[in-house]
Structure 1
């Protein structure tokens, strides 16, 4: 091989790499979508049961709660923040809803409404501490994580509230709709509607553009006239409301309200957002990518379980995916749009 030929091939490889960088920078969901398709194909080959309607129904049902929580996490990460309290807010909200409906004897709609209000207030507290007290999001949500989980134990007395003791509305999100061999829950329908709503809100409203601008460069956004503190407060408050909706979906999924769940929700929600192509540095990503990321987590866990892989190695695989996704994000961010 001549020196000229080797130089040409090197330049060609470099050109392909640059084109791939630009493609992924402009279309952040392409990478996660390719991973999801490959994972589904691989697990279907390893075990034909994977692609059966009952198993796919199970995957979607398992993904639903994490997807709703990850939607709120997406809003926070788009502003270059992080929310470690997502699991604590969701579980505490579910316990409050169940307690209002059982021990306080409230009607189901009122118990849900109060749970939504308090979950939203928890998110607003995070936003207040970040925007008014000027504390870093990591420290704020680490503190409220501990506070809300502690209050959760106090209110629940570490006891699970059974779904049979609650009004039927509380567990309605777990009701399934048969579609052929596939079974779709009302919780999954709510999740898909929420993703459609925020896909529109982030892409077609001034609020969505302000969220991206704040995450991309908060000082430039402020100089452009965007009230960045108001944007951040709205993001954390909206995230709290989404976590409360996730709490309702969680009650339906478990047919109970348990104070002992949710220890992995923080990590799972962040994992879904990162795998979905969002940047931890803010300003890049979207809700469709997050939905794909949540599905990737669900597909890998279910597929590895069907393949007989031990739980510890399932976690290893998810962690490896996260590292690859963050490394890919760092590579993509080198492209200047």
Structure 2
């Protein structure tokens, strides 16, 4: 005859499985919870390691450092939600910033027309990626890998590998780097623009037909097409909008550096993808959102700043970020296995 103790191990296993399934379902329905928990734990941990971390001056620095990457990651999110990838994000941002500076210094254009033309150029670069993906049916990875090289090469040609100082450009070009003091905290106009963009696309993805079509296309492009969604138009729109966002990121970059340099942005592509992945957006498309991306960008900034204050060498800072990415992708794979 079986005793009560004979059934105890089975009960514990079932309870463990039930808890795991509940967590899996919660994270599947709310992908932002995981990244948010990581961010909170990181902030608390680094505050204990170094009391300077939680100072207003240091938090201002963290936000200023992640502003450009977060803006690029916003455009990257739109692309990844459709199960694509954009390796040219950094190249478009840097090339757009160089073009804006060149329009002012070489062509003598006033600030606002030069800025708008720079935005148009960034949008056109994104549209080129979208056209190659939708018209020629080329894989996004190959398309953006090719345009990455093209844009960086054109960047060197246009700039002649020379940096344009902010003092040589109209003030509107460096305006995004201007700070607003809020007590001991200093907020830049670039950060305000970035947060406004996140707010707009948070609404657009959640509350508009276009946003629903983006998710549907990323989840199953063939099913979306059969449901009447013009998937090629959706794909073209996300790459085009991403190009515009990268150009805005280029403007914010000028304000951040107080110059337009053709020699920056080498890591921007990977950093933008890292922010998206850490934010809980699936690389397989159809799941995630811009709020998670903002948190992901903050995680990268917090980890790099916190590890630096803790005296950790740069090489190990990169190791920590890479480990976080692997954990995030593994967690995404586990969450996608949830049975609905």
TM-score normalised by length of structure 2? 0.99
Give the Cα separation in 1 of the matches to 2:5 and 2:225. 55
Question: In 2, distance between residues paired with 1:15 and 1:335?
Answer: 12
Q: CA deviation at 1:180?
A: 0.1
1:259 is paired with a residue whose SS is: coil
1:27 aligns with 2:35: no
Whether 1:121 aligns to 2:132 is no
Please tell me whether residue 197 in structure 1 is matched to residue 197 in structure 2.
no
- Aligned twin of 2:48: 45
Q: CA deviation at 1:3?
A: 2.9
Partner in structure 1 of residue 146 of structure 2:
143
Say whether residues 1:208 and 2:222 are aligned partners. Answer: no
TM-score, normalised to structure 1's length?
Answer: 0.99
- The aligned residue for residue 74 of structure 1 is 77
Mapping of residues 240-279 of structure 1, within 5 Å: 240-279=243-282
Deviation at 1:103, TM superposition (A): 1.2
The correspondence for 1:326, drawn from 322, 325, 329, is 329
Residue 303 of structure 1: which of 299, 306, 312 is its match? 306
| Runs ≥4 residues deviating over 2 A | none
Aligned equivalent of 1:234 = 237
Number of the residue aligned with 1:315: 318
CA drift at 1:336: 2.9
Q: In the aligned structure 2, how far is the partner of 1:2 from the partner of 1:80?
A: 50
1:77-92 → structure 2 map (5 Å cutoff): 77-92=80-95
**Partner SS, residue 53 of structure 2:** helix
What runs of 5+ residues in structure 1 fail to find an aligned partner? none
Q: Secondary structure at the match of 1:177?
A: strand
What does the per-residue CA deviation read over 1:255-287, in whole Å, with 9 as the maximum and x for residues that have no partner? 000000000000000000000000000000000
Residue equivalent to 2:178: 175
Per-residue CA shift, 1:106-153, capped at 9, x if unaligned? Answer: 000011011000000000000000000000000000000000000000
Query: Aligned pair count?
Result: 337
Tell me, in whole angstroms, the C-alpha distance in 1 between the residues paired with 2:323 and 2:282: 17
**Displacement, 1:2?**
2.7
